[in-house]
Chain A
Amino acid sequence: MSVAEPEGMSVALTGLAACGSGFDYAIARAPQSGMAVSPEPPHSPAAEPNLDSWVIKSARGALESAKATGAVPADRIGLLYLSFWGSIRDTVGYLESLSADGGRYPSPRLFTQSVYSAVASQTVIALGIHGACETLAFVNLPVYRVLQRAWCLLETRRLDLVLAVWADQVDGPAVQLCQRAAAELHHPELARFRQNGGGSVAVALSRAGTASALVHLTLENSPTVLPCGDVATERQAIETPKSSGRNENRVPTAYPTDIAVEFALEILACNRTKSARRWREIDPVRRQQANLLLEAAENRR
């Protein structure tokens, strides 16, 4: 049995904000796009802000640009948070506290912050959001999948506004480990993590047709599915893509947050030119794609 994607899987994007230090390529393009990014110079790992401060900053920025603060009841606003690495610095910090002094003084603070969903929890506390809050991970297509979940939450009237936030932070030890693991395990996903830094992209989404939309997004068609087969052997096949298409090269690194930045740039470009655009999300390793139609709100009206 095959299921056709419902017609009109659309949402209205009403706000957007981004901040961080890991967006070199995005920052370079930002002046042309007019994107409201808050670039920060690379910090030493010790001085870099915590992931939650980036997430709170971008989520608050998206809410403010959507003019939703106070206009939408707090219990009708929800948060979807996606991170590839989560709070890895705090996780490593907690394990370190567990290893030191024979484990006599494990840090309750670092344990609490190492919990994957702690960043989302800090964010809803900071913003006073009372709707559903979900910390998510997806095998592929991190922008499309989050938008699809947001669409479901809006369509079923569970929420009136969804803040979707993609955020990541990678620092020294994680990068070193990834590089070593990539070489020794032939693990291309890990090879893509080459630099310190991170950041956060947040968008505010409402039901399609919302008057204050910057851009209408239509999730156009189902992405191709994961190759199936014997799990013990399939892994190898999946990790050795045969070719790279033109669009793959547009994504310089593959943090989900970078893909979200790319997406955000397209949204702003669409809104600036008032013309419809298609944005294609590519999973560079698995070579799957999802199409999103971005349509400037004024054009539609």
Chain B
Amino acid sequence: MSTDHNHGALAVTGIGMITCQGIGRETSWNGIAAGQVSITSWPHSLPNLPTSPRVAAAPSLPCPDDLRSSFWKSLSRVQQLACLTVDEALMQAKLPRHLDGHSAACLVSSSVCAMDMNEKFYFQYRDDPNHASLSLLKRVHPFELPQLLIKRHRMTGPHYMNLTTCVGSAAAIGAALDIIRCGLAPVAVVGGFDSLCQLLVSGFGSLRLISPTGCRPFSPDRDGILPGEGGTALVMESIAHAKGRGAVPLGYICGYGASADAFHITKPDPEAVAAEKAIRLSLSDAGMTLSEMDYVNCHGTGTRDNDAMETQLYSRIFGEASPVITSTKPLTGHTFAAGGAMETAITLLAMRDGCYPPGPGPQGMHAPGNDGKGGRQMNRALICNFAFGGNNTAIVVARSLERLS
């Protein structure tokens, strides 16, 4: 086990992000911090909506210098998101593109993987089996994503691809904590990436979970999610490794907790028993308490069941002493497996800039630039994610390790 005397906290030294707000960490964060909404119409109609649904789509993605454009075009959009965000995260962490000297772990997540290509193939195949382009099947398996990153960045440590839908990248962050604490690697590239595809949008449409107008979590007129796409990559490393190479931490991942409702395949347990357990496990893992949390980035999807569950959960555990709670999904869309890493990055960037992420929460709307309760600086925060099948995760982050050390 790790010998760091910081309750096993890990340093985050690099962040790469692509959202509907734009390409790049600062572009994305500036849009989110300003409360800017960036949504477009999905090109296909859904049977239960009068108009095309609104989505939070990322811009078109440029080919990095080191890859051939033909190869770039052969990649799934999820792989493209991963390549660009990992490049940005490594650059900020001041790590080289090739990590073979660092025994780096690769822990990533996606829920749709290459479904954009696979469904295109399937529709071609259905029309004419002999003329369907088999090259679209090249990325059919989920492991194609970590394989690409491992090879491109020469990552020789453990790897892992988590497919647990909306908690996938949060679970990847938890796995990075475990792997580094257990001494299996000193540094990890962690991320979540998801793209929009017909299967996903029409699937949520078939469940009547997509809002025709936009995402308004905790609002009385909320009517569903805003499907989004994007990706976030984090460089996480042991404090000793970061110090050893002179890296400047942007913040710290201090704890992680996970649990399962074992309740319903799509709905959360309305009593939120296991969700509360995940939060308490993450705090215990971090050696912190609920009262030390200045902010919660909640799941806040804008669906009736999730909003009701989360409202009850936070009211129960925090009572009158609630920290600032916001959902950033109206600004990024629900990016599914990418959400956990993206919302962790947003929280760390808000800590860096001395503000709180704007957005709606159970106590109402928090406008851009709000400085929390009584101007209190955000030092510690929780990021909560809840997924299909009742999978719950919570991550504890901190701006500094003053109290911990």
Contact = CB atoms under 8 A, between A and B. Distances in A.
Interface of A: 1-3, 5-6, 74-75, 78-79, 84, 86, 91-92, 94-96, 98-99, 103-108, 111-112, 114-118, 120-122, 124-125, 127-139, 145, 148-149, 151-153, 155-156, 158, 177, 180-181, 184-185, 187, 189-190, 225-229, 231-232, 234
Given A106-B203, A149-B160, 16 more contacts: A86-B163, A95-B123, A99-B122, A111-B202, A112-B203, A115-B388, A127-B262, A130-B277, A132-B174, A132-B258, A137-B141, A139-B150, A152-B182, A189-B141, A227-B151, A229-B151
B152 interface: yes
A124 B68 contact: no
A127 B156 CA distance: 36
Nearest to A122: B265
A96 B182 CA distance: 45
Given A121-B388, A125-B263, A226-B147, A138 B98 contact: no
Contacts of A6: 182-184
Contacts of A129: 260, 262
Contacts of A232: 67-68, 71
A169 to B, nearest CB: 15
Given A111-B199, A117-B387, A228 B98 contact: yes
A177 B135 CA distance: 12
Nearest to B66: A230
B163 A184 contact: no
Nearest to B72: A232
Contacts of B265: 112, 118, 121-122, 125
Contacts of B71: 231-232
Contacts of B274: 75, 130
B182 A120 contact: no
Nearest to A84: B141
B233 to A, nearest CB: 16
15 contacts: A3-B185, A6-B183, A6-B184, A78-B260, A104-B47, A106-B202, A108-B203, A116-B142, A118-B265, A134-B164, A152-B179, A153-B178, A155-B178, A185-B135, A228-B154
A1 B203 contact: no
Interface stretch (B11-19, B99-107, B323-331, B345-353): B99-107
Given A120-B389, A137-B141, A111 B67 contact: no
A257 to B, nearest CB: 14
Nearest to B207: A108
B151 A231 contact: yes
B403 interface: no
Q: How large is the interface on B (under 10, 10 to 19, 20 to 34, 35 or more residues)?
A: 35 or more
A234 B151 contact: yes
Interface of B: 1, 44, 47, 67-68, 71, 98, 100-103, 111, 113, 119, 122-123, 125-126, 134-135, 137-138, 141-143, 146-148, 150-152, 154, 156-165, 171, 174-175, 177-179, 181-186, 198-199, 202-207, 258-266, 274, 277, 281, 387-391
A111 B115 CA distance: 13
B103 to A, nearest CB: 4
A239 B366 CA distance: 53
Given A106-B203, A108-B207, A187-B138, A138 B143 contact: yes
A116 B198 contact: no
Q: List the 7 closest pairs (A to B, CB-CB), nearest first.
A: A121-B389, A111-B203, A132-B258, A228-B154, A137-B142, A232-B71, A137-B161
Contact of A75 (B204, B205, B259): B259
A121 B391 contact: yes
B175 A152 contact: yes
Contacts of B135: 185
B163 A125 contact: no
Contacts of B179: 152
A112 B143 contact: no
B384 to A, nearest CB: 15
A132 B261 CA distance: 10
Nearest to B71: A232
Contact of B111 (A116, A153, A234): A116
B26 to A, nearest CB: 27
Nearest to A117: B164
Which residue, B151, B175, B277, has most C-beta atoms of chain A within 10 A? B151
A94 B258 CA distance: 30
A138 B388 contact: no
B168 to A, nearest CB: 8
Nearest to B202: A106
A135 B164 contact: yes
Given A138-B159, A152-B179, A124 B137 contact: no
Contacts of A115: 111, 165, 388-389
B333 to A, nearest CB: 18
